[in-house]
Chain A
Amino acid sequence: MRAVSRLPRWAEFGLLPLVNLCAALVISGAVIRLVGESPWAAFKLMAAGAFGSQDSVGYTLFYATDFVFTGLAVSVAYHAGLFNIGGEGQAYIGGLGVGLVGLAFGSGSPWVVVPLGIAAGCAFGAAWAFVPAWLQARRGSHIVITTIMANFIASALMTYLLVNVLIKPGQQSPETREFGPGAAMPAVHQVLARLGIKFAASPFNLASLLALVACLLVWVFLWRTRWGYALRVVGQNPRAAVYAGISPERTILVAMILSGGLAGCLGVNELMGSEHRILLDFPGGAGFVGIAVALMGRNHPVGILAASLLFGALYQGGSQLSFDMPHVNRDMVILIQGLVILFCGALENVFRAPLAALLAAAKGRSRA
């Protein structure tokens, strides 16, 4: 019977996430104090680790790029009413596509091979997402369950391929050989160096540009085309969609193909941009972080950009923190990230009602 309090736009998209973030940091601070470190010093270290130098900024943006792709993937599915938990697997399989292009055409011109790699990443990711989509649209299997299962299958498949098929002959670790130079996405510091600007080396590469373009395209698609409109109608009110002559089944397929394609682009950033080979578990959980990013970014590309930056900073700053503070280990950093996800995702409405009441009171007073 409880009505959801409505907030003005600036509070909905600015103030509320900020309050949630602060709550998460307050509790994180309490935990850091508990293990005997100074919360203030810890947060300062984290901020410095994420933004303190050119290379740390580069790393932050590199991680953020991963999260933009997976966050967009989650949000496109979400707008169609689908909870795509399978970003991780789609990114992993998408990376296989990117990697195969890199391995096969590594000696070609980057002008051809890089776009080909992007296309292959999208296609492989989309194909992996198509399976659960088809199962839901035509067979009624729930997409949450099937995408989770697809993650495990993707992981097993990649392990098999890396251990038995794609492994570079004559070595122990399950990795492929390096791609040729034609399959390298140029790093930002290299591009800047060519323009005569000095920037510290980091894996931050031009896939970030692709991520920005993807944000724009997703926005245009969802809010400026009739297909995006149809997709949102299906997500908001499937019965109204049927009434309007929009097929929910077909829309599910389209949404998941786009979602998988976006997740597949992660391989472009990680493999063509940084690792230059396929290795085990390269998505490293970014597919799951994408869920938190989409939630926190209110499933809007601009919000996703902002949330990706935050999580990129948490990733990069967190690893710096665990490096510098003896009592704060890697698990503690994961705890902080988890709290941010908890407060910005699962508990995002905890402060909504009090905030709405506060704003209403303030408004009343200013009017009086």
Chain B
Amino acid sequence: MEPASPPPKADVGSPGPALELRGIDKRFGSVHANRAVSLSVARGSIHGLIGENGAGKSTLMNVVYGFHRADAGEIRVNGRLVEISRPRDSIEAGIGMVHQHFMLVDRFTVLENVVLGAEGGRRLGRGLNEAREGLERLGREYGLEVPLDAETGHLPVGMQQRVEILKALHHRADILILDEPTAVLTPAEADQLFRMLALLRDQGKTVILVTHKLREIMAITDRVTVMRQGAVVHETATRDTSPPALAEQMVGRSVLLRVEKGPARPGGVLLDVRDLEVRDRLGVARVKGVSLTLRAGEIVGVAGVSGNGQSELVEAISGITEPSGGSILLGGQEISRGDVGPRERRSRGIAHVPEDRLKMGVVGSFAAEDNVILGYQGRPQFNRGALMSRRAIRADCEAKMASYDVRPQNPGLRITAFSGGNQQKLVLAREIDCNPAVLIVGQPTRGVDIGAIEFIHRRLIALRDAGKAVLVISVELDEIMGLSDRILVMAGGEIVGEIPGAGATEEAIGLLMAGVKGEPRP
């Protein structure tokens, strides 16, 4: 197909929106994901689409891109009504999408990935050569230089994202949709991305930025649309609004963005990790000689771009994987050797809220009550002899739902029917209620709505104030800075710096995350 039919080129500067949605309605079974959504995106602008998880942003964008078909409503591109029932239709209409999880073939070169779907005829060679010229020109124009012959899987994430953007531009996209593009980037890479997007806008492209981060909306967009419960609730020029005002629109009530906490009163060392080394299945070291201590009554945050060894560190401490070197002392006792698995560690007082809830923290097909005993199913309070006590399990779940304000308060409901925030509250309730000495929390508020974030943060601080040790691993710098009494920064499997929580700045952490070594740790 490709170069033959360029989409109707918009004359830059002409009035009228580049993309217009009218009354888009979409249901999934009983879930009303989009309720008569209308949205108008001006040509040559960056338009932010913000909302909590489950607000319907992704559904809306998937409708525009042709992954889902709307039950009702119409889509107009440059004023022309278009019928989009599959991604090919939207590509032909000049819409490109960069997904949160990249849709690239790792084993292909950058060039091959970009050409995929627009090979230009049967003979690949000629198409590739033409594409190479085109890409080099695009790269120069937009500052999107990428090594075209490198194997894509070997490139850093920021670069892979660039490949996705290039791919969209190569497919002649005039409207570029980016879904949570900064989730995998360091602050510096995010800044670079934003400069690139600004350049694209100035060249007349239209950018739609889907995000839940208020800071990004404020930093880069021209207009912003807020969605809540499947509907558009607010639309404004970005310069006329503020983060608290947007947050209030997202949640429907005013929220506390900043965590309030008193000073920490650290006690004795509870967890002492020394020279820990963890290798993956292929024998590659993922954690390289990490040492850290965790005291009673403090929250230590581990910042870093995801994939720099944080997950492996957590799994080694919680007993899921066996470290290849170093030691882990809990209250002075070695736990990393011998048969001290996750169950034994739990009973010795290490609780763990995993970073990926659905992959590890819960069993998606089980009811809430059956998830609230996960890891504790052998405890005497849930069993009467050989049989489990359904009554005790239900009562326990009901109590946890009440004290953690989980809604709906229905222990028999499948866990995946709860919102991300309520799922996380249940996991947190499970891990905190067994009264652990040390709590390890990976991504405490990933996929959690703003209202629940506040609640979860307050719980963690309460746990600290009760004299427990809390280790928080997060890729959200705001969260790390808001919660932590001390901040450790991980990069390349090592701890590259430590900063006191009070007075930490994003710049200082960002520099360390990017691999610029700070002062040597004390």
Give the interface of A toward B (CB within 8 A). 1, 3, 5-6, 220, 224-226, 229-230, 232-233, 236-237, 239-240, 242-247, 356, 360
Contact = CB atoms under 8 A, between A and B. Distances in A.
Contacts of B378: 226
B377 A236 contact: no
Given A236-B365, A360-B29, A229 B342 contact: no
Nearest to A228: B388
B372 to A, nearest CB: 12
Nearest to A363: B30
25 contacts: A1-B68, A3-B28, A225-B387, A226-B378, A229-B388, A233-B374, A236-B363, A236-B364, A236-B366, A237-B362, A239-B359, A239-B360, A240-B359, A240-B361, A240-B363, A242-B320, A243-B360, A243-B374, A244-B342, A244-B375, A245-B319, A245-B341, A245-B346, A245-B375, A246-B343
Contacts of B30: 360
A225 B386 contact: yes
B352 interface: yes
Nearest to B370: A229
A25 B408 CA distance: 43
Contacts of B68: 1
Contacts of A244: 342-343, 374-375, 377
A78 B383 CA distance: 25
B67 interface: yes
Contacts of A237: 359-360, 362-364
A108 to B, nearest CB: 32
A242 B387 contact: no
A6 B29 contact: yes
Interface string B440-462: 00000000000000000000000
B344 to A, nearest CB: 7
B335 to A, nearest CB: 13
Contact of B29 (A233, A242, A356): A356
B161 to A, nearest CB: 21
Contacts of B354: 243
A225 to B, nearest CB: 6
A226 B366 contact: no
A239 B311 CA distance: 14
Contacts of B319: 245
Given A224-B387, A229-B373, A237-B359, 17 more contacts: A3-B29, A5-B29, A220-B387, A226-B388, A229-B370, A233-B363, A239-B360, A240-B359, A240-B363, A243-B318, A243-B352, A243-B360, A244-B342, A244-B377, A245-B343, A360-B29, A360-B30
Contact of B377 (A229, A243, A247, A356): A229
Nearest to B382: A226
Contacts of A6: 29
B106 to A, nearest CB: 20
Q: Which 8 pairs show the lowest CB-CB distances between chains A and B?
A: A245-B343, A244-B375, A245-B342, A226-B377, A237-B363, A236-B363, A243-B360, A239-B360
Interface in B306-352: 318-320, 341-344, 346, 352
B407 to A, nearest CB: 20
A243 B361 contact: yes
Nearest to B341: A245
A244 B363 CA distance: 11
Contacts of B373: 229
**Best-surrounded residue of B62, B67, B377, B382 (most CB of chain A within 10 A):** B377
Given A245-B342, A245-B344, A240 B360 contact: yes
Contact of B375 (A220, A243, A360): A243
A229 B320 CA distance: 20
Nearest to B387: A224
A242 B342 contact: yes
Interface in B219-277: none
B352 A225 contact: no
Nearest to A6: B29
Contacts of A230: 377
Interface in B363-397: 363-366, 370, 373-375, 377-378, 382-383, 386-388, 390
A243 B320 contact: yes
A6 B30 CA distance: 10
| Interface hub of A1, A5, A244 (most chain B Cβ within 10 A) | A244
A5 B382 CA distance: 33
Contacts of B352: 243
A8 to B, nearest CB: 11
B362 A240 contact: yes
A3 B68 CA distance: 11
Given A5-B29, A225-B388, A243 B363 contact: no
Contacts of A360: 29-30
A3 B383 CA distance: 36
A226 B343 contact: no
A247 B319 CA distance: 12
Nearest to B346: A245
Contacts of A220: 387
A268 to B, nearest CB: 25
A224 B377 CA distance: 11
Contacts of B366: 232-233, 236
A242 B62 CA distance: 35
A225 B370 CA distance: 12
Contacts of B364: 236-237
B359 A226 contact: no
Contact of B342 (A236, A243, A356): A243
Nearest to B365: A236
A336 B387 CA distance: 42
A50 to B, nearest CB: 35
A242 to B, nearest CB: 6
A144 to B, nearest CB: 22
Contacts of A233: 363, 366, 374
A225 B352 CA distance: 24
A315 B364 CA distance: 38
A5 B364 CA distance: 16
Contacts of A242: 320, 342
Contacts of A232: 363, 366
Contacts of B370: 229
Nearest to B393: A229
A347 to B, nearest CB: 21
Interface string B32-69: 00000000000000000000000000000010000110
B522 to A, nearest CB: 33
Nearest to B347: A245
Interface in B419-456: none
A245 B320 CA distance: 8
Contacts of B341: 245, 247
Contacts of A247: 341
